[in-house]
Amino acid sequence: MMDFSRILALYRAGNLQAARQHCQAILKHTPNHADALNLLGVMARAEGRAEEARVLAIRAMQARPQFFAYPFNLGLALLDLDHPKEAAVVFHKSVTLNPNFGDGWSALGSALRKLNRPQEALVALNNAARLLPNSAEAANMLGVALQERGEIIQAVEWYHKAVTINPRLAEAHANLGDAFLQLSQPEQAEKACRNALALKPDSAQAFNNLGNVLHDRGRMMEAIAAFRQALQLDNTFANAWNNLGNVLLYCAQPQEALHHFRQAIQIKQDFAIAHSTLLLAWHYHPEYEPRQVFADHVQWAERHERPLMTERQGFAHWDRNPERPLKVGFISPDLHRHPVGYFLEGVLANHDPRQTVIHCYSTHHQPDDFSRRMQATVEVWRDVHGKSDGEVAQIIRQDQVDILIELAGHTGKNSLLVMARKPAPIQMSWMGYVNTTGLSAMDYLITDRWETPTPSPYPLVEKPLFMPNGYVCYRPPDFAPEVAPLPALQNGYLTFGCANNWAKINQKVLALWAKLLHRVPTSRLSLKTKSLADGDLRQRALAFFRQQGIGEERIDLQGSSPAAELLAWYNTIDLALDPFPYSGGLTTLESLWMGVPVITLPGISFASRHSLSHLNAVGLPQFVADAPEGYLAIGEYWQEHIPRLAHLRQSLRGQMAQSPACDAPRFTRDWEQRLRQCWLHWLQSAPFT
At 116 the pLDDT is 83
Helices (DSSP H) in 32-185: which residue ranges? 34-46, 50-63, 69-80, 84-97, 102-114, 118-131, 136-148, 152-165, 170-182
**Is 689 a residue whose pLDDT tops 60?**
no
Give the angle 274-277-281 at the CA atoms, nearest 5°. Answer: 140
At 105 the pLDDT is 98
* Sign of the torsion angle spanned by Cα atoms 137, 141, 147, 153: negative
At 462 the pLDDT is 98
- pLDDT band with cut points at 50, 70 and 90 for residue 686: confident
Q: Which of 126-130, 386-390, 440-444, 544-548 has the lowest mean pLDDT?
A: 386-390
By three-state DSSP, how is residue 362 classified?
strand
Where are the domains positioned within the chain?
Answer: 312-467, 487-662
At 293 the pLDDT is 96
Concatenated DSSP letters for 527-582? EE-GGGGSHHHHHHHHHHHHHTT--GGGEEEE----HHHHHHHGGG-SEEE--SSS
The percentage of residues in the chain with a pLDDT greater than 90, rounded to a whole number, is 94
pLDDT, one tens digit per residue, over 30-57 is 999 999 999 999 999 999 999 999 999 9
Contacts of 247 (CB under 8 A, 6+ apart): 211, 215, 220, 223, 224, 227
Phi first, then psi: give them for residue 360, nearest 5 degrees. -110, 135
Strands (E), 289-402: 326-332, 356-362, 380-383
First to last CA, the chain: 70
Contacts of 484 (CB under 8 A, 6+ apart): 571
Q: Are 142 and 157 in contact (CB under 8 A)?
A: no
At 203 the pLDDT is 98
Nearest to 362 by CA among 374, 377, 347, 352: 374
- pLDDT band with cut points at 50, 70 and 90 for residue 348: very high
Average pLDDT of 118-124?
Answer: 93
- Segment holding 446, helix H or strand E: strand 444-448
Strand order in the sheet with 356-362: 380-383, 356-362, 326-332, 403-406, 426-429, 444-448, 463-467
pLDDT, one tens digit per residue, over 401-410 is 999 999 999 9
Higher pLDDT, 337 or 463: 463
Q: Cα(247)–Cα(217) distance, rounded to whole angstroms?
A: 12
- pLDDT band with cut points at 50, 70 and 90 for residue 1: low
By three-state DSSP, how is residue 326 classified?
strand
Q: Cα(174)–Cα(176) distance, rounded to whole angstroms?
A: 5
At 236 the pLDDT is 97
pLDDT, one tens digit per residue, over 277-299 is 999 999 999 999 999 999 999 99
**Is 538 a residue whose pLDDT tops 90?**
yes
Q: Are 269 and 521 in contact (CB under 8 A)?
A: no
- What's the one-letter identity of residue 198? A
Concatenated DSSP letters for 592-605? HHTT--EEB---SS
Contacts of 127 (CB under 8 A, 6+ apart): 95, 102, 105
Q: What CATH code would you report for 312-467?
A: 3.40.50.11380
pTM: 0.91
Average pLDDT of 101-108?
Answer: 97
At 245 the pLDDT is 98
A 10 A CB-CB count for 440 gives 16
* CATH C-level class of 487-662: alpha beta
pLDDT, one tens digit per residue, over 388-401 is 899 999 999 999 99
Nearest to 621 by CA among 603, 642, 640, 600: 600
pLDDT, one tens digit per residue, over 218-251 is 999 999 999 999 999 999 999 999 999 999 999 9
pLDDT, one tens digit per residue, over 447-498 is 999 999 999 999 999 999 999 999 999 999 989 999 999 999 999 999 999 9
Average pLDDT score over the chain: 96
**Is 339 a residue whose pLDDT tops 60?**
yes
At 386 the pLDDT is 84
At 367 the pLDDT is 83
Average pLDDT of 168-188?
Answer: 97
Nearest to 515 by CA among 558, 544, 487, 553: 544
**Is 583 a residue whose pLDDT tops 80?**
yes
Q: Cα(10)–Cα(662) distance, rounded to whole angstroms?
A: 79
Q: Cα(568)–Cα(487) distance, rounded to whole angstroms?
A: 13
Average pLDDT of 628-635?
Answer: 98
Contacts of 492 (CB under 8 A, 6+ apart): 522
Give the C-alpha distances (Å, rounded to integers) separating 504 from 43, 359, 412. 55, 34, 17
- pLDDT band with cut points at 50, 70 and 90 for residue 150: confident
Give me the torsion for CA of 10, 13, 15, 18, rounded to 10°: 0
